[in-house]
Chains A and B, each alone.
Chain A
Amino acid sequence: MLQCIFLLSDSGEVMLEKQLTGHRVDRSICAWFWEQSISQPDSFKVLPVIASPTHYLFQIVREGITFLACTQVEMPPLMGIEFLCRVADVLSDYLGGLNEDVIKDNFVIVYELLDEMIDNGFPLTTEPNILRDMIAPPNIVSKMLSVVTGNTSNVSDTLPGATSSCVPWRTTQLKHANNDVYVNLVEEMDTIINRHAPCDGVLVKCEIFGVVEVNSHLSGIPDLTLSFANPSILNDVQFHPCVRFRPWESEQILSFVPPDGLFKLMSYRVKKLKNTPIYVKPQMSSESGTCRLSVMVGIRNDPGKAVDSLAVQFQLPHGVSSANLTANHGTVDILADKTCSWSIGRIPKDKTPQMSGTLVLEEGMEQLNVKPTFQVDFKIMGVALSGLKINKLDLKNLPTPAHKGFRAQTEAGQYEVRS
């Protein structure tokens, strides 16, 4: 039972306060929260559950905005956190991103959304599709209309049919001129590679976290089944509420009535992979106050498609006073917070990208005994590195035949190379 929701800007100002129950929560709790998070920046900001003197607080931070929910009684903490995440998702979807200005500009909509999403501290309507039917997202046309006609409401006066149907995520009586559905496998690769020098890196962990995204524009109430050629490689899965459990349990087939538009049908994990597409070889040697650093990047196992937007990033260790790093390809930036980022882009055909240079240590320090971790970023379009293959997609209950499309891509998730 949440009692109150606050939205704080990145300077700690209370942008929005929404009391949910009869037990009013005083705004002073935000001041307390902000004071604490300033005095303990590293520990407080990241704790999702905080016991303040008067209330239990749940917090999430999205793009600089802190979403804070308060309660005084026992409740599942994840419920509060998940709800805040859902609010953040819906708001950023409605407002096209989140920041202080955009929330203040669309204050009314944010209030209306919160009003609809939670009633008396218990989530009411959180399905984005239904919310869209109830409260129109802000856009130029509606703004124009409101200025011209003087009618300021963007709230629908009728209840969306979906609230009463057995598929609450789908609006009834949908009509599209072109029926099409796209399935997109978006995979993220999480890797930990250990100690490069002197020998080649050891693959400690390599796994794929993937999402099956579906973008559907189908008329009526279609019934879809999606099957994979090799579902056995999936270590674990999570489903959108529209997926029926039984067919998956018995035959590992995804059978569902899709919501309209883009949604995450399922997410999955494939563990214990053996190969990484690229290698990153950092080498460090330090003596008498300086540390030589060189990093090489190259293709290890050709994924068959081009590796794009390659970048390597690492935090300069504590005790480094200045760094002088150059690369033979791409650009090296050292940011104010001592983050060094080397953006490479696409790997050239003729040479191996290499960054090298020296780190000057602080006075009195002979050598560096802490080792930075290198975070690698890349993107490969057109291939799912987990090897997951879609077998077929069947569409039933459709008035006209529809166009189907499949895509795949892999990005680096938590791709880490320890030196």
Chain B
Amino acid sequence: MHSALYKRLLRMLHLSRWRLRSLFTYICFTMLKGKRPNEALLSINIFQRDLGDQNPLVRAWALRTMAGIRLHVISPLVLVAVRKCARDPSVYVRKCAANALPKLHDLRLEENAAAIIEIIEILLNDNSPGVVGAAAAAFAFVCPNDLPVIGRNYKRLCEILPDVEEWGQIILIGILLRYVIARHGLAKESIMASLLPNIFSNEKTGSESDTGYLEIKKTYEIVLQEPELVAMVSRSYLAGPDKHLLHPNNSDVISSDYISSRFTSSKTDDNVKILLQCTLPLLWSRNSAVVLAAAGVHWIMAPMEEISKIVKPLLFLLRSSDASKYVVLCNIQVFAKVMPSLFAANIEDFFISSSDAYQVKALKLEILSSIATDASISIIFQEFQDYVRDPDRRFAADTVAAIGVCAKRNPQVANTCVEGLLALISPKSINSTSGSMDDEAVVLIQAITSIKDIIKQDPLSHENAIIYLIRNLDAIKVPVARAMIVWIVGEYNSIGNIIPKMVSIILRFLARGFPSESIETKYQILNAAVKVLLNSKEEDFDTAKSILNYVFELAKFDFNYDVRDRARVLRKLLSCYFSSSGLEEKPNNNEIRLLLVEHIFGEKVKPSTEMVNNRFYLPGSLSQIVFHAAPGYEPLPEPCSLTESDMVKGLEEEPTQAEANDSDVDSGSLNEEGSYYSEDSVTASTRTDSETTASESDNNNTDSLINLSDVGKPQEETNDLGELMSKGDLESWLDDNDNPGPSQNVAERVPSARISIGDISTRTKPKIYTLLDPTYGNGLKVIYKYSLEESAVSPPLVSVDTFFENCSSYSMSKILLTNEDSESSDQGSSLESQKDVPVFAPMEEISILEPGQTIKRVIHVHFHHHLLPLKLILWCNDKKHPVKLRPDIGFFLKPLMMDLDAFSQKESQLPGMFEYTRRCSFTDHLAELGSDGKDGDVSPTKDSFLIICQCLASKMLSNANLHLVSVNMPVDVNLNDASGLCLQFSGEILSNSIPCLVSVTLDGKCFEPLNASVKINCEETVFGLNLLNRIVNFLAEPQLTT
């Protein structure tokens, strides 16, 4: 926007009506994105005046607009205004004050944090439900983990909950649930009880609470069919489930007392009871989000026999609000999987209506097949018969798959299912639809897949089905379907009485048609022929052999190289059967081959267990719908992590805060004083404005004179440690060219000089995390840090330096880190299901660790960009300690060497959607500047700039594995103004080698906290955003004084 226009707007602002002002600021700040902060400041005093207006609407709007300006400079003013409005007589203004707090918090100013939380607490205590709702939203945004604040008002918040407006209810329900769990623990009657150890172990530990547990266990076993799944779901709801399974004395047998202390009872605990009571009427809300949030609380906390209360409201949502249908179904799907009995009586609600979208239909099908019981299965099958004839063939295919799932679940109906499925592939139904072959093919293939799966369960009883399939082989033209049938022939060639007799005929038939088959069918014919040969008895052996030989001969001249190769390999393997070659083979060589063949073909397929999607998120969350943890997703807090002392500590602090607050409010509420204060500050800020504008005009002058941009000089050129090179570079540049003038042709470049800050690798200290604390690990201390080295095992792996130290007085042996599920992997969690799960490369075992000794091991982990902690098991002296490895997204990168040219080129290729910026404050340099900055007046620019750069660079490089491309600073520096200082880093994502560029631009005075603006350009946007959040977090984090 032109500055002339802007000034006119400003003038208009004074004259205009208050409504227009808000529109004005909206335009300014969406268009300018905070580029002209100083001019925006001029508008402040108008809003300040409006804040004292008689009309509450004007006050509210003044506050809204002021908070919406989002400039660091005015944040103190806004804070004062919010504090004043939080005590306003008008409810509407107080509500707007609550809404303004997240805006203030968004600026990420440390000094405001405490004040913001304090105001939130005042507003949470408000009498008006409307204000409480808005305050809850502010709480959830600003300090969701500051649960003691909630604790002080818990009962009152519960009671006021039904009166809070609907949007506030959604948020408040979630906060209250988190508080109850953190303070009082989980309910042992609820589904979360699956975390209780006694539920699964049958041994009596002899503790007195056994009878209680047995009772729970009984209901538990009745209601839930798949306890493992339930345990998995409930575990995934929690933040640190395995941490509290750690016990200092005994790690093998988990002490039940210890665990049970994490549990409370939803029947006797008043705090849990009141939450359940107050959320119950919310199930009647017309707002689907409120209903789902309330249902979530009951799902997690209510006793299992009472969860059914959520069923009707949830099902009602499916009809009453069309838009939320999909989301509600996604949640019901999880509920139904965990607790099929819950919805078993309501199958009609999941019957498909022709107006449903495909996704909705698919979800309903899945729910139907998981809640089917013996009683309802016949009705469901009748429905399925209708669905199979649905005009949407994709959906029909899904139905066929669902029939297969139902049959596996309820084996007694398997025969009916197979019959129904076979009818689908009968020649009549195939021929009639030759018109739309592609669509039908999908259904056909799915039908055969389902049949195959059912047969797998119990091949013997489905002999007739196999025969039927074989008889129809001629009619089925779809290659994939044919291939599957041939596979079935080969696999079950010796089952029953009839098939073995038919097999040779079928094979002969197939062999004759071999050249005209499609490739996948050819593969299967080869395999089937080999399998038949291996299984054939004496009398058929020769036939089988000659057929196979015939097939091999045909395959030898096949067009497809893969078919030729396969045939050749098989032939070699089976050479003992075709001993025509006459070569004398070593006998053991033959044996090995036979063994190999037996292993490849002889082994019967075991019925594989169902693959489960093992990612579950809290009900009603966004993450549950998109199936990944969205940024900002937090699982439930650790049960009972909020102790009495936490609460008390909060209380002790409160009086002093309240006092300070009171005095503030007093001064604020006196109108004269308030306005006096604000005017004063405004004049102060305008003064600084004029200063900065002056400096800006300076800036403009210098622009044309010197344009310095030192590009492309590698960093190692100047090796002087700690030498600030900007001046030197400038001089050398001037010397080289004699004439600073002609550089005007590069005028569009921002004037900047490159600084070399030398080798800062000595300063980088990667953060050290503790994997196992000696107090929990019987004296074994394990710490780890992310290594900057590239993993030696495989490039996408992240290497982690792990140090094992023995702090005890005796030696330890057999220390090993393994995956958590290494022992459970035999339960069918095959490799496919772990595709995206973080993988941990096996570690070399430490056989012995003497007291006081420290051994380093490098472990390699493939995180697959998962940001949730990776659960591992640490074995020591044959005891296991569950531990968690915290991924650090900063180390999912590796440095990418590039020069400034390449950097800026790459940057320009990644605009718009691939560019994200966030601001934060940076204070690390203050400590160092404070120590030696006082006497640095001689050359303040030099030292302070260097120190800032070093601090920033070392902080960045300690926390993320990046390459420092360059450090640029504006040439026309003011003495203490670090604005414009820019550090550029480059890296490449380990897993997919996508480059990721990071630029940090500073803004502010050297001896004050600086505003850092972090920009990331990266094609992998989710990764980029997560990395951005990480960088902003660690930059804003105060430096640890070591």
Contact = CB atoms under 8 A, between A and B. Distances in A.
Contacts of B293: 76
B561 interface: no
A22 B106 contact: yes
Contacts of B353: 190, 192, 414, 416
Interface in A48-90: 48-49, 51, 53-54, 56, 60, 71-79, 81-85
A377 to B, nearest CB: 12
Interface string B284-318: 11111101110000000000000000001101100
Interface string B901-921: 000000000001100101000
A153 interface: yes
Contacts of A71: 622
Given A153-B17, A159-B55, A81 B630 contact: no
Nearest to B102: A120
Interface string B311-349: 011011001110110111000000000000000000010
Given A48-B327, A76-B170, A79-B289, A42 B626 contact: no
A317 B391 contact: yes
B809 interface: no
A333 interface: no
A168 B130 CA distance: 9
A362 B431 CA distance: 14
Given A77-B327, A238-B316, A369-B389, A122 B99 contact: yes
Contacts of B436: 318-319, 365
Interface residues of A, number: 98
B355 interface: yes
Interface of A is mostly: mixed
Pairs of residues from A and B, 8 with the lowest C-beta to C-beta distance, nearest first: A365-B435, A78-B289, A73-B632, A46-B357, A245-B281, A236-B312, A373-B354, A74-B632
B632 A235 contact: no
B575 interface: no
A32 interface: yes
Given A47-B359, A204-B383, A370-B390, A74 B622 contact: yes
B326 A47 contact: yes
Given A53-B1021, A317-B391, 5 more contacts: A1-B102, A82-B323, A84-B323, A319-B433, A369-B389
Given A82-B289, A245-B284, A159 B57 contact: yes
Interface in B123-174: 128, 130, 134, 137, 141, 162-163, 165-167, 170, 174
Interface string B619-649: 0111101101111111000000000000000
Nearest to B19: A155
B812 interface: no
B894 interface: no
B622 A77 contact: yes
Interface in A367-417: 367-373, 375, 414, 416
A416 B622 CA distance: 33
A74 B170 contact: no
A26 interface: yes
A142 to B, nearest CB: 15
B99 to A, nearest CB: 5
Nearest to B916: A54
Nearest to B312: A236
Given A1-B141, A76-B622, A365 B358 contact: no
B281 A249 contact: yes
B348 A204 contact: yes
B33 interface: yes
B759 to A, nearest CB: 37
A236 B622 contact: no
Interface in A1-43: 1, 19, 21-24, 26, 28-29, 32, 42-43
B64 interface: yes
A352 B818 CA distance: 76
Contacts of B916: 54
Nearest to A414: B353
Interface stretch (B89-97, B214-222, B849-857): B89-97
A264 interface: yes
B1022 interface: yes
Contacts of B890: none
A53 to B, nearest CB: 4
B630 A372 contact: no
A150 interface: no
B106 A158 contact: no
Contacts of B610: none
B106 A28 contact: no
Interface string A355-367: 0000001111111
A358 to B, nearest CB: 17
B726 interface: no
Interface string A205-222: 101010000000000000
Contacts of B913: 26, 28-29, 32, 53-54
B669 to A, nearest CB: 19
A134 B167 CA distance: 20
Interface in B852-897: none
The interface size bin for chain B is: 35 or more
Nearest to A123: B167
Contact of B167 (A126, A194, A236, A249): A126
Contacts of B128: 164
Contacts of B359: 43, 46-47
A200 interface: no
Contacts of A192: 348, 351, 353
Contact of A416 (B26, B162, B313, B354): B354
Nearest to A373: B354
Interface string B45-71: 000000000011100100010011010
B358 to A, nearest CB: 6
A296 interface: no
B583 interface: no
A78 B324 contact: yes
B22 interface: yes
A163 interface: yes
Nearest to A50: B626
A241 interface: yes
A237 interface: yes
A370 B55 CA distance: 67
A341 interface: no
Interface in A321-376: 361-373, 375
A235 B312 contact: yes
A119 B26 CA distance: 12
B382 interface: yes
Nearest to A163: B92
B167 A24 contact: no
A364 to B, nearest CB: 5
B435 A239 contact: no
Contact of A60 (B67, B319, B323): B323
B336 to A, nearest CB: 18
B432 interface: yes
Given A49-B622, A236-B316, A119 B19 contact: no
B788 interface: no
Given A155-B19, A373-B354, A78 B130 contact: no
Contacts of A84: 323
Contacts of B137: 122
A204 B286 contact: no
Contact of B106 (A21, A60, A119, A269): A21
A24 B1021 CA distance: 16
B316 A318 contact: no
A166 B357 CA distance: 41
A54 B55 contact: no
Given A78-B324, A269-B316, A119 B96 contact: yes
A60 B322 CA distance: 10
Nearest to A159: B57
Contacts of B103: 21-22, 120
A370 B435 contact: no
A123 B98 CA distance: 12
B683 interface: no
A124 interface: yes
